[in-house]
Each structure stands twice: as C-alpha cells, then as structure tokens.
Structure 1
Amino acid sequence: MSVVELTNSSRWYGNVVAVNDVSMKIGPGVTGLLGPNGAGKTTLIAMMAGFLAPSAGEVTLDGAPVWGNVSVYRTIGLVPEREASFGYLTGRQFVRANAELHQLPAPGEATERALDIVDLVEAAGRNISTYSKGMRQRIKLAAALVHDPGVMLLDEPFNGVDPRQRLHLMELLTRLGAEGRTVLFSSHILEEVEQIARHIEVVVSGRHAASGDFGAIRRLMTDRPDKYLLRSSDDRLLATALMATPSVAGVQLDARGGVLVQVTDFGSFAVSLPRVARERSITLLEVTPTDESLESVFSYLVSA
C-alpha cells in the first residue's frame, strides 16, 4: 500500500511557473488528476515519477524523497502521454527490454504476465508501428506493469483511443486499483474521471483547485453560476424584466447585441424566462450558454 505525497511543491522554468505550491496525497485505489490542457498535470506526474525535481517543496513516496532516489523506480510504473519511437520493436521486445532494465530475475515470465494483463499476448509478435492508438497505450501500460509496481502513474491514457479500447483501459485501471495499487491518471475530460475514479484532484493553471470525493466536487461544478447570451425582439425590455427574476444574479446589455445573464438556478430560470418573455410580448431569438468550457468550470473552482 504505497502513498505518494506532495508538500507545498512548485516547479518553474525561468519566469514560467508550471506548478504552484501544490499539496496532495495519493493513496491506494484510482485517483483522477483533472484539469484543462496546460494546467500542469504532466509536470505533476513527472515530479511524482522522479523525472523532475521540485523547484520548491517536496515529493515523497512512502515518506522517502522521490527525486534522486533510484530505488523508487521499483515501486513506480509510468505511462507517459508521449510515445517514444520504438515502432521497430515488437510489443514483446519492448516489454522485455523494460523487464531487463529492471534486472528482473525472470524477464521472460514477467513479460508474458504483463502482456496477459493488458490482453496483448496475440499481438505481441507484431511491430509496435502496426498497432492502433489503443494498442500502443496498452503496450506502454504492459511495460509499466512488468516489474509489478505498487504505484501506477498515467498521463492522459485515453487520448485518441476509440470507445472500445477506452472501455478496456477503464476496466483495467479499475482492476489495478481494486488490487490495492495506487493508480493516478490525468485527464481533461470530466466524464472519463467520473466513470472510474471516486476521488479526484483538480488543478488549474498550476494551482491545486479542489480535492476529494468526486460527487462533492461535481456538485461544486454544476452549482456554479451559469452565464447565457439572450437575443430577443426587445433586449432592453427583457433585461429590465429579468432583473426582478429571483434566479438571475446579474444582467448586462452586450455591446454586440443581446443580453448577458448570470443565472444561479438554471431550473428556475428555464421556467421563468419564457413566462417573462410571453407576459411582455417579447420574442426570444437565441439562448446560448457562454461559459460551458472546462476552463470556465475550473476557474470557478479556483475562485470559489
């Protein structure tokens, strides 16, 4: 049962801060590292894996510093997002090379066991260059599992994977977590995290935005104020009427036309908007959400 812990950890490159004073603890089971692209997820994983030194703070594995401690590589398995150019190797050769790098006593047996775990035994004799995206993800996972690590770190493992392969990977990560391993995977897609991780860590712009049970954080995300752009036959009259609506927190006329409305309760707003328009003989031409991107959701979490 291994635990990876970051304590006030930061990483910067010159004047660019990639990770800013992050503290979190990752224990057994499956944890999702959620954040928009560019949030610092890859840097965090590289620090946890011992490939990057923290510029400040500390990263530990079971209480021992990760950076400069080669012994941690017997406990950590890393599945990077980038794919190294090993297309000329067969899947079996690639996994076997990793087994030999770890100086395992029976590299052949370890290789076959890892290939079996990811269900790639039949395709193991083919060159990696012939593999689909999903198969390449699975062969990287086999290479990371070959030494039977207690900690698995995966950077965007579902990127570019078709639905069938995604389901297979999700089932595999769930099984690894159920075995008692500490499994951390990063993603910028909320639904991926929701399906397999009950505990999540949210990062935005290098900062730690939220931590804990997925359900509670999901409620924070869905309960945030929503913004909509309304266009109608009489924007000024509509704006005046909406200011008296309980579910509306703010109203502003848009310089490009239309009304910008901040809503605190979408359910009530969806009922009251057509009633308000009908009572004043206003024709609604457009109702468009303006902040449905993940970045807006995460930014709300940071400022909440």
Structure 2
Amino acid sequence: MSIGTEPATERAATPAAPAVLELANVSRWYGNVVAVNDVTMSLGPGVTGLLGPNGAGKTTLLHMMAGFLAPSRGTVRVAGRPTWRNPDVYRDLGLVTERENVHGFLTAREFIRASAKLQRLPDAEAATRRAIDMVDLASAADRRIDTYSKGMRQRARVAAALVHDPRVLLLDEPFNGMDPRQRMHMMELLHQMAAAGRTVLFSSHILEEVEQLSGTVQVIVAGRLAASGDYRKIRRLMTSRPHEFVISSSDDRALAVALMAEDSVAGVEIVAHTGRGRGATAGGLKIRAADYGRFSRALPRIARTGGIRLLTVVPADESLESVFSYLVGAR
C-alpha cells in the first residue's frame, strides 16, 4: 500500500526534488531470520519519519543506509553512490545511532572536535562551535560527558553528526531521554535543516513524535514497508480501523443492549466472570468499534442516558504492533 501526498496548489507548481537517499529492493537476513524484506524507498530533501514498532527492522535499515551493513540483496545509495564499502559517502552523511557510544571522560567540545578532525575539516574549531550552538549546548560544552543527562548526551551526539554539515542526517530514536524543552529545540533544528534542503530521516515507535515533526512517513512492520506517504492519510487509516475495548459498568447487560443500537459499534460480547485469584477474569463487555472517534463520543452519552455508571474503559488493541499489523492486513 502506497499512500501519496494530498493535492496542494503550491506543491503542484513545484517540481519534485531529486532523490538523495534511495533503496531498491533491499533485503537483509541473518541465517534463516529475515530482518528487512524487499524494501524500496526514495527520499528527497525534507524530514521523513521511519515509523514502526520495536523490532520492526528500522535500525537494520538505518545501518544499511549508513554503510554499516551490506544488503543481502538490493542496493542502497546516497547522492547516487553506494553506501557499502564507500568511505567517501560519509562526507554527505551524518548518523546518530540509538545505542550510545560516547567516551564519558571527554567534554562535549572534545568529542565534537574529534568528529570534525576525522572529517578533515579545514577549520575544525569553527565547525565545532557552530555544531555546539546548533544543539544549544554552549553552556555545558566544557563539562565531561559522563556528568550529562541522557538528553544532553543525545544532543552532543547530534552535534558530532552535524559538524561537517551533511546533506543527509539519519537518526535512530533521536528523542529518547530528552525533556520537553530539548525535544522542541531538536524538532526546530531538524525543521531548519529540512528548510535548508537537507534530507533528514529519523526512526521512532511513537506516533506523536512523527505527527509533530514529519508530514511524510515510511511505515515498517516485520521488516516490510507497510505504508508510505502523507502522514495524515496514514494516520486516518490507523484511527479508522476497527478497535476493541473492554468495558465494565454498573449494569453490563443494559449497556450491551444500548450499544448494539449504536452505528459505530460492530460487535458486543458479554464476558462472564470466571475463577478466583490471579487467573480470574472480572467480566464486563468486549466491544468492537467500527469507528474509534464516533464510539468514544457515543459511549458517555449512551451510559448517561441509561443511568449506567462506567467503571473501566480499556482499549484492548492499542499497541503499535496492533496498529501497524492492521496496515499490513489492509494492503
């Protein structure tokens, strides 16, 4: 399933930007385990979210894009050049891995300067200062990294990846450990990079992060590309899928009768109370809602009209695995 962007007059007048990051029929397997399966995508300037549950294959994809892993099949190119066994590609590429690999005895300035020197920049000191300012770390730049919070260490790592002003920036779960202010600053920085014509791809398993930062997403489920395109269309597909709720109330049978007359309800099941102790079930209702939004608005009204008190309302299938598995099934 490929979902394109919504039509817009100003977009129609502008020719599509050339792809900077390209994957063609990329797979990666480890023995009999397939981590990434036949993924094709093409990314140009802007911010793109790589979205999927933990274990979906996002990190494996990013490592192939960065030249850390060879594809078992297919090709990965940055600016038209293959990433595998091609050190020159790092002049155009910056990477922030999910796993921290920073020596705590260094200050942030020393760490970022080392990255500038590895890139053989003509003025490593100026590049270091610029990168530190970009991530708002100047006041703590001369402190040892092992005194930093997780969010501050993350910003130092982003600065090291940006020190050579790369055309492509890859970030694996970049907002882990950041407080709200740090997150907002980082989002603003990534938007500025996109506005300057850079290609930014960040992975996340949190829908809200992608919603705030990116209009375009690539959704990965079980190593496959499940959906691609405009975030708003994909998000609507996620929220309009059938949902299950477990509900207990002061009168489950009366509530079940009332809900069966509601258009947004696709099914009602009364769950009997069983057993005692840890393995017991408390009973209640299992509701299959055809429309999440309409059902959420209708339920309080129905309960109030019937004089029924709602005790618990618990979504039964709100895990990311459930959301993304629905996308795969909708292909």
What TM-score does the superposition give when structure 2 sets the normalisation length? 0.83
Give yes or no for the alignment of 1:104 onto 2:121.
yes
Q: What whole-Å deviation, never above 9, does each CA across 1:109-150 have from its counterpart, x for those lacking one?
A: 222222222222332222111222222111111111111110
- How far does the alpha carbon of each residue in 1:153-196 deviate from its partner, in whole angstroms, 9 at most, with x for none? 01111001111111111111111111110001111111111111
Report the aligned-residue RMSD. 2.4
Mapped contact 1:100–1:107 kept (Cα < 8 A): yes
Once the two structures are superposed, what CA deviation does each residue of 1:85-126 show, in whole Å capped at 9, x if it has no partner? 411111111111111212222222222222222222332222
Instruction: State whether structure 2 residue 328 is matched by structure 1 residue 302.
Output: yes
**In the alignment, which residue of structure 2 is the partner of 1:20?**
37
Amino acid at match of 2:316: T
Select 1:291's aligned residue among 294, 312, 317: 317
Which of structure 1's runs of 4+ aligned residues deviate more than 6 A?
Answer: 274-283
The residue type paired with residue 131 of structure 1 is Y
- Cα pair 2:19 2:42 within 8 Å, conserved: no
Name the residue aligned to 2:287: 261
User: If the length of structure 1 is used for normalisation, what is the TM-score?
Assistant: 0.90
By how many angstroms is 1:25 displaced? 1.4
Asked if the contact 2:37/2:224 (under 8 Å) is kept, the reply is yes
Aligned mates of 1:244, 1:12 — CA distance in 2: 50
The answer (yes or no) to whether the contact 2:241–2:292 under 8 Å persists in 1 is no
Change in Cα spacing, 1:276 to 1:78, as seen in structure 2 (3 Å) is closer
1:269-300 residue CA offsets vs partner (Å, 9 max, x unmatched): 35665676688887654432211222221121
Distance 1:289 1:77 in 2: 39
CA 1:274/1:9 → structure 2, altered by over 3 Å: closer, same or farther?
same
- Name structure 2 gaps, 5 residues minimum: 1-17, 273-280
- Residue 114 of structure 1 is matched in structure 2 by 131
- Residue 211 of structure 1 corresponds to 228
1:86–1:267 Cα change, 3 Å: closer
- Please give the alpha-carbon distance, in whole angstroms, between the structure 1 residues aligned to 2:133 and 2:148: 17
Task: Give the equivalent residue in structure 2 for 1:221.
Answer: 238
Aligned AA (1:269): F
Contact 1:2 1:182 in 2 (8 A): no
The alignment of Structure 1 onto Structure 2 pairs a total of residues equal to 304
Distance in structure 2 (CA, Å) of the matches to 1:188 and 1:292: 13
Ranges in structure 1 where 5+ consecutive residues have no aligned partner:
none
The answer to which of 202-211 and 72-81 deviates more is 202-211
8 Å CA contact 1:2, 1:151 repeated in 2 = no
Report Cα offsets for 1:200-227 as digits up to 9, x if no partner: 1111222211111111111111111111
Matched, 1:45 2:62: yes
Residue by residue, what CA displacement relative to the aligned partner does 1:232-252 show, whole Å, maximum 9, x if unpaired? Answer: 466566556644543222233
